[in-house]
Chain A
Amino acid sequence: MKLQSHGIETDLPAGWEGRIGLRTQPSADARAPGEVSAIGDAGERPNPVVHLANFALPEQRGDFGSGAVDLMGADDVLVVLFEYGPECAGTPLFKRTGIPTDLTPNMFSSSALQRTISGQAGCQIFFTENGRAFCSYTVLGRQSNALRVVPQANAALSRTRIAPR
């Protein structure tokens, strides 16, 4: 199945599901100028977020997978592509170019998680693709199964394209 939105396209591997989302832009509502609304400040800019998983994604998810990672089984893998503003592209943190498709087990760490969950491991890679800055964040349901599931993550990432804005 193919997903396409916001200049991002992915062809999901069999058995995978995914979402390409963009949160609502907070607007200047009845609050006074400069005040923050219930969903944020009018000055902030939500960017596209991609969630790809070989397990059922819950509806309520944090941008870096909270809510989903709690449900992961031993052979599950979650891939997040989180976009930043164009001002980040090419900065030292985003110096790498191209979507990472060559993840290896030794890139993963049980400490490289937004929230440590027993047995899980994560890997964050910041990169720039076609002038757009992203972070790929891959979570393994069980680090010890890395050899088996990391290739699945690479396959999902390999089937993803990011077009210029």
Chain B
Amino acid sequence: MTVALPSRRTRRAAPDEPLDLTEHGIHRDPVNHDPLGSATFSQRLVHRASGLFSKGTTRRSFLTRTAVLGSALAVGPIDFILKPGSAYAYTCGTCSDGWTAFCCTINSGRNSCPPNSFVAGWWKADNAAYCCGAARYIIDCNATCPTQCACRCAGGSCDGRRTCCNQFRYGQCHTEIACYGPVVCRVATCTPPWRYDPSCTTSSATDNKTTNHGAPCLTTDCGTPIDKKYKALGGASGFLGKVVAAEKANSDGRGRVARYEGGNIYWTSTTGAHEVHGALLTEFGKQAGVNGVLKYPTSDTLTTSDEQARYSNFENGRIYYRGTAGTFTVPKPYFAKHESVGGVHGILGYPTSAVTTSSDKKSRYQNYTGGRIYVQGSRVVEIHGAVFTEHEAVQGVHGPLGYPISDLSSAGDNRGKGQWFEKGFIWYAPTVGAHGLWGKINDRHLANGNVKGYVRYPTSRPTPVGDGRGTYATFERGNIYASTTTDGFQVHGAVLKAYLETYGGPTGQLGYPLSELDPAGTSGGRFQRFENGKLHYISDTNVQLVT
């Protein structure tokens, strides 16, 4: 019900004609001066409202109708209190109580200043249920000059208060605007006004008579960020269920936590409020919660894009839950490394273990479906795929290669990749697979230009010759031999063919190589020296033994 008051055009003339009183410091819109005249507003209003129901009003019938109207409005709060979602009790208002309506009542449900009005001032009311016991702020939206609205009743069923009638200004906001019209409506908020509108100053005014003023369209804005998160997640009827332990400050002096039947909500000023529940919360607890390595959650529970897992983000890592596959924490710095190689959708895939200390106590590592991350001091290295398999095949960090000291990286030949270990390399190319090299054989391979040298990629790891002395590894274009008494040397081409097929290899009459084949153009011919003789390379089909 909206009841319009008499327009300014119809009100009586002197002594209430508009006056410009600006020079006196009176800045209310002069054209809106005393719009109600000297008549009793509430009586005229209620009379007019009651008159809508019937004609031929007598004084007795007027009073009766007034009482009926007042009664109808008075029961409003009970109705609204019982409605789900109205967690706070509030006082309804009538057009005759002298107060201004809330903006949501007259602004299409929006709890904000409507067009042709501006944030002009504010006051607070202490201990407001609307704000869960905190102070509530009421912000006045005054009409801009010239006033574009007329004094009337807002017509809300529980907020029937006035709009555009009270030409009063609290004055803390937009002091650069002097002229003001009547208060169009009021914004209710639990946010301090200077944060709501930076034009407002922090000079506070208090009026506790308005603490419980409300309207059906005002849902409570109360509570801490944790309260709001809890409500946003459905409150007691949501998955968190009932409160188990009320919100309290954490012992770190930084954050706060509230515990519920189905999970917890954590808050800090930098992370905001986020829930953690279910298996993720159990795992978070194992990690000492916010006092552990992960610190505070930075997200609610999320689902991976492949829908294989649920996870929660934290300041220092992430927890993944994959049903029977387990729930695992990926803490910093594992998390950063994991993310840098594509996270769960990348080469490492999902975590499959907790962070574990290696048996030699020199590192900590975490397994993933596609590999592992090692952390040694500040060094964080991932190893994955065929390289990881090769490393594991040679006893991993406890074997001849030791720990990885770099990630797998391109060999620079547009073919393959290499990963550097404490005591060797693993080289990988799609056509040959991954093979580790270490010791004297690795030294020679590196000295000869590694995979960009003559022999290219290894096709085997170093293998015992079987004589108790030496090892060798095969490559795409040759072999490298080494022994306990000789360094590593590569043998390739026609020389290798003769060495193996004619002279029995390292266990034959020549023994282990003692040099590389002389380069092409060497004066006097090209020779390769062995322990018991040398081979003279004449051509690809002619290699002669020289003793």
A contact residues vs B (CB 8 Å cutoff):
23, 26, 30-41, 43-47, 60, 62-64, 66-67, 82-85, 87-88, 91-96, 100, 102, 106-107, 109-119, 122-127, 135, 143-144
Across the two chains, which residue of chain B brings its CB closest to A103?
Answer: B24
A144 / chain B contacts, CB cutoff of 8 Å:
38
- Check if B206 sits within 8 Å of A125, measured CB to CB: no
**Chain B interface residue bracket vs A:** 35 or more
Shortest distance from the beta carbon of B459 to any chain A beta carbon, whole Å: 64
Q: Report how many A-B pairs have Cβ atoms within 8 Å.
A: 189
> With A32-B256, A124-B169 given, is the CB distance from A111 to B126 under 8 Å?
no
B25 / chain A contacts, CB cutoff of 8 Å:
95-96, 100, 125-127
B194 / chain A contacts, CB cutoff of 8 Å:
43-44
B168 / chain A contacts, CB cutoff of 8 Å:
64, 112-114, 122, 124
Tell me if B497 counts as interface (CB < 8 A to partner A). no
B99 / chain A contacts, CB cutoff of 8 Å:
115
Type the 1/0 row for B147-161, where 1 means its CB is closer than 8 Å to any CB of A.
000010000000000
- Check if A43 sits within 8 Å of B178, measured CB to CB: no
Across the two chains, which residue of chain A brings its CB closest to B273?
Answer: A32
Shortest distance from the beta carbon of A87 to any chain B beta carbon, whole Å: 6
Shortest distance from the beta carbon of A50 to any chain B beta carbon, whole Å: 13
Q: How far apart are the CA atoms of A27 and B378 in the complex, in Å?
A: 44
Tell me if B514 counts as interface (CB < 8 A to partner A). no
Among candidates B166, B201, B205, residue contacting A116 with C-beta atoms closer than 8 Å = B166
Tell me if B42 counts as interface (CB < 8 A to partner A). yes
Across the two chains, which residue of chain B brings its CB closest to A105?
Answer: B15
A40 / chain B contacts, CB cutoff of 8 Å:
124, 126, 135, 192, 204, 206
* 13 contacts across the A-B interface (CB closer than 8 A): A23-B206, A32-B255, A32-B269, A37-B134, A37-B135, A40-B124, A44-B124, A63-B207, A64-B123, A93-B27, A109-B16, A118-B42, A126-B169
- Check if A126 sits within 8 Å of B192, measured CB to CB: no
Q: How far apart are the CA atoms of A38 and B132 in the complex, in Å?
A: 9
Pick out which of these stretches binds chain A: B29-37, B65-73, B525-533: B29-37
Q: How far apart are the CA atoms of A96 and B26 in the complex, in Å?
A: 9
Across the two chains, which residue of chain A brings its CB closest to B43?
Answer: A118
- Check if B131 sits within 8 Å of A92, measured CB to CB: no
Shortest distance from the beta carbon of A141 to any chain B beta carbon, whole Å: 14
Tell me if B165 counts as interface (CB < 8 A to partner A). yes
| Overall SS of chain A's interface | loop
Shortest distance from the beta carbon of B447 to any chain A beta carbon, whole Å: 62
Tell me if B203 counts as interface (CB < 8 A to partner A). yes
Q: How far apart are the CA atoms of A51 and B171 in the complex, in Å?
A: 18
Q: How far apart are the CA atoms of A111 and B483 in the complex, in Å?
A: 107
> With A87-B201, A92-B175, A125-B26 given, is the CB distance from A111 to B151 under 8 Å?
yes
Among candidates A33, A36, A91, residue contacting B175 with C-beta atoms closer than 8 Å = A91
Shortest distance from the beta carbon of B347 to any chain A beta carbon, whole Å: 41
Shortest distance from the beta carbon of A43 to any chain B beta carbon, whole Å: 6
Using A34-B269, A93-B27 as known contacts, list a sample of 19 further A-B pairs with CB atoms less than 8 Å apart, ordered by residue number in A: A23-B204, A36-B131, A36-B190, A38-B127, A40-B124, A40-B126, A40-B135, A44-B124, A62-B123, A62-B206, A66-B207, A84-B201, A84-B203, A91-B175, A93-B178, A109-B34, A116-B162, A126-B27, A135-B169
Tell me if B233 counts as interface (CB < 8 A to partner A). no
A94 / chain B contacts, CB cutoff of 8 Å:
175
B177 / chain A contacts, CB cutoff of 8 Å:
92-93
- Check if B207 sits within 8 Å of A64, measured CB to CB: yes
Q: How far apart are the CA atoms of A63 and B19 in the complex, in Å?
A: 27
Across the two chains, which residue of chain B brings its CB closest to A90?
Answer: B175
Find residues 9-48 in chain B having any chain A CB closer than 8 Å to their own CB: 15-16, 19, 21, 23-28, 32-38, 40-43
Q: How far apart are the CA atoms of A135 and B267 in the complex, in Å?
A: 41
- Check if B34 sits within 8 Å of A135, measured CB to CB: no
- Check if B206 sits within 8 Å of A67, measured CB to CB: no
Tell me if B224 counts as interface (CB < 8 A to partner A). yes
B371 / chain A contacts, CB cutoff of 8 Å:
none
B356 / chain A contacts, CB cutoff of 8 Å:
none
Q: How far apart are the CA atoms of A114 and B26 in the complex, in Å?
A: 15
- Check if A111 sits within 8 Å of B182, measured CB to CB: yes
Among candidates B27, B40, B167, residue contacting A118 with C-beta atoms closer than 8 Å = B40
- Check if A109 sits within 8 Å of B28, measured CB to CB: yes
Q: How far apart are the CA atoms of A46 and B203 in the complex, in Å?
A: 6
- Check if A84 sits within 8 Å of B135, measured CB to CB: no
Across the two chains, which residue of chain B brings its CB closest to A97?
Answer: B25
Among candidates A35, A41, A111, A113, residue contacting B35 with C-beta atoms closer than 8 Å = A111
Q: How far apart are the CA atoms of A118 and B25 in the complex, in Å?
A: 25
Give 5 closest A-B pairs by Cβ, nearest first: A96-B25, A62-B207, A91-B175, A116-B98, A109-B34
Shortest distance from the beta carbon of A29 to any chain B beta carbon, whole Å: 11
Among candidates A33, A39, A63, A126, residue contacting B126 with C-beta atoms closer than 8 Å = A39
> With A43-B194, A63-B123, A117-B98 given, is the CB distance from A111 to B165 under 8 Å?
yes
